[in-house]
Structure 1
Amino acid sequence: MYKVILVDDEDIEREGMAAIIPWESLGLTLVDMAWNGFEGLEKIKEKEPDIVITDIKMPVMDGIQLIRRVREEYPHIMFIVLSGYGEYEYTSRAMELGIRHYILKPCDEIRIAEVLSKVKQELAGRQEQKKTEQEYRNVYRLMLPHVKERILENLIEQEKLAKTDEVLLEKFLENVPKSFLIVTTRSQKNFDQLDGFVLINILEELAGNQNVYLSAARGNEIICLFPATERERLPGLLKKAHMEYRKYKKTILCSAISRDGGINGTALLYGQTQELLRLNDIPQQQEILTYDMRPDADGSSWMIVDYTQIRSAQAYDTLLFEIYAAYVKMGLRGFSGEQMYKVFQAALEFLFGKNCGIRCEMHLTEADPWLLLENVVESCAGHMHLAFSKGKEEERMRQLLYAVYKNIKNPELSAQYLAREVLYVNEDYFGRLFSRYTNEKYSAYLLRIRISLAERLIVFNPELKVAELAEQTGYPVDGQYFSKVFKKRTGMTPSEYRRTIMEKSDFYSNGI
Structure 2
Amino acid sequence: MYKVMLVDDEDIEREAMADIIPWEKVGMELVDMAWNGIEGLEKIQTNLPDIVITDIKMPVMDGIELIKRTHELYPKIFFVVLSGYGEFEYTSKAMELEIRHYILKPCDVNKIVEVLLNVKKELLNREEKLKSERQYQNSIERMLPQIKERIFYQMIRKKELSVSDKILLSTFTENFSDEVILLSVRGPKEYDQLDRFALTNIITELMGEDQVYMNAGLKKEIVYLLPAALSPQLCSLMLKVHSEYNKYKKVRLRSAVSKRGRLKECFRLYCQIQELFDFGGVEEKQEFLHFGMYHDKAEDSFLMVDYTKIRNAKNIQELIFEIYCSCVKMQMQKITLDRMSEVYGFVLRILFGEDEKDLKKCEQVSELLEQVIETCAFHMNLIFPNTKDGNRMKKILYMVYWNIKNPDLNLQYMAQNVLFMNEDYLGRFFAKNMNERFSAFLVRIRILLIQRLLLYQPDIKVSDLAEQTGYPSDGQYLTKVFKKHTGMVLSEYRRMIKNNIEERAE
Please identify, of 125-134 and 104-113, the stretch whose mean Cα deviation from structure 2 is larger: 104-113
Say if 2:71 and 2:77, in contact at 8 Å, map to a contact too: yes
Determine the structure 2 residue equivalent to 1:297: none
Where 1:53 maps in the other structure, the secondary structure is strand
TM-score w.r.t. structure 1 length? 0.70
Residues 42-53 of structure 1 aligned to structure 2 (within 5 Å): 42-53=42-53
The alpha carbon displacement at 1:49 in A equals 1.1
Say if 1:378 and 1:387, in contact at 8 Å, map to a contact too: no
Say if 1:330 and 1:340, in contact at 8 Å, map to a contact too: yes
Change over 3 Å in CA distance of 1:180–1:385 after alignment to 2: farther
Give aligned pairs, total: 474
Determine the structure 2 residue equivalent to 1:72: 72
Where 1:360 maps in the other structure, the secondary structure is helix
1:487 aligns with 2:488: no
- Please, which of 261, 266, 274 is the counterpart of residue 277 of structure 1? 274
Q: What amino acid is the match of 2:184?
A: R
Change over 3 Å in CA distance of 1:77–1:248 after alignment to 2: farther
1:343 aligns with 2:360: no
Determine the structure 1 residue equivalent to 2:255: 253
Residues 139-154 of structure 1 aligned to structure 2 (within 5 Å): 139-141=139-141
Change over 3 Å in CA distance of 1:323–1:110 after alignment to 2: closer
Residues 100-499 of structure 1 aligned to structure 2 (within 5 Å): 100-103=100-103, 112-141=112-141, 168=167, 183-189=181-187, 195=196, 198=200, 205-206=209-210, 218-219=218-219, 220=221, 222=223, 233=229, 235-236=231-232, 242=238, 249=245, 251-257=253-259, 270-271=267-268, 273-275=270-272, 277-279=274-276, 281=279, 283-284=281-282, 287-289=289-291, 303-311=303-311, 313=313, 316=316, 318-351=318-351, 353-354=352-353, 356-358=354-356, 360=358, 362=360, 364-365=361-362, 368=364, 370-383=366-379, 384-387=381-384, 389=386, 391=388, 405-406=401-402, 426=420, 429=421, 431-432=423-424, 434-439=426-431, 452-466=448-462, 468-473=464-469, 481-491=473-483, 498-499=494-495
Determine the structure 1 residue equivalent to 2:32: 32
Change over 3 Å in CA distance of 1:333–1:83 after alignment to 2: same
Q: What amino acid is the match of 2:52?
A: V
Q: What amino acid is the match of 1:459?
A: L
The alpha carbon displacement at 1:502 in A equals 2.9
Say if 1:306 and 1:326, in contact at 8 Å, map to a contact too: yes
Q: What do residues 84-135 of structure 1 show as CA deviations (whole Å, max 9, x unaligned)?
A: 6666655555455444444556656555545444433332222222222322
Determine the structure 1 residue equivalent to 2:41: 41
Percentage identity across paired residues of the two chains: 41
**Alpha-carbon distance in structure 1 between the residues aligned to 2:355 and 2:438:** 32
Say if 2:6 and 2:52, in contact at 8 Å, map to a contact too: yes
Determine the structure 2 residue equivalent to 1:6: 6
Change over 3 Å in CA distance of 1:122–1:448 after alignment to 2: closer
CA RMSD across the alignment: 5.0
**Alpha-carbon distance in structure 2 between the residues aligned to 1:409 and 1:252:** 43
The alpha carbon displacement at 1:487 in A equals 1.4
Change over 3 Å in CA distance of 1:128–1:275 after alignment to 2: closer
Q: What do residues 288-322 of structure 1 show as CA deviations (whole Å, max 9, x unaligned)?
A: 449999xxxxxxx9931234543565665654343
Where 1:481 maps in the other structure, the secondary structure is coil
Say if 1:258 and 1:270, in contact at 8 Å, map to a contact too: no
- Please, which of 479, 501, 505 is the counterpart of residue 501 of structure 2? 505
Say if 1:53 and 1:81, in contact at 8 Å, map to a contact too: yes
Say if 1:4 and 1:52, in contact at 8 Å, map to a contact too: yes
**Alpha-carbon distance in structure 2 between the residues aligned to 1:471 and 1:77:** 80
Determine the structure 1 residue equivalent to 2:298: none
Say if 1:431 and 1:441, in contact at 8 Å, map to a contact too: no
Say if 1:302 and 1:459, in contact at 8 Å, map to a contact too: no
Say if 2:157 and 2:267, in contact at 8 Å, map to a contact too: no
**Alpha-carbon distance in structure 2 between the residues aligned to 1:19 and 1:442:** 98
Q: What amino acid is the match of 2:502?
A: D
**Alpha-carbon distance in structure 2 between the residues aligned to 1:240 and 1:6:** 68
**Alpha-carbon distance in structure 2 between the residues aligned to 1:417 and 1:94:** 88
The alpha carbon displacement at 1:223 in A equals 7.0
**Alpha-carbon distance in structure 2 between the residues aligned to 1:489 and 1:434:** 24
Where 1:49 maps in the other structure, the secondary structure is coil
Say if 1:185 and 1:253, in contact at 8 Å, map to a contact too: yes
**Alpha-carbon distance in structure 2 between the residues aligned to 1:21 and 1:397:** 91
**Alpha-carbon distance in structure 2 between the residues aligned to 1:310 and 1:466:** 26
Say if 1:182 and 1:270, in contact at 8 Å, map to a contact too: no
Change over 3 Å in CA distance of 1:490–1:2 after alignment to 2: same
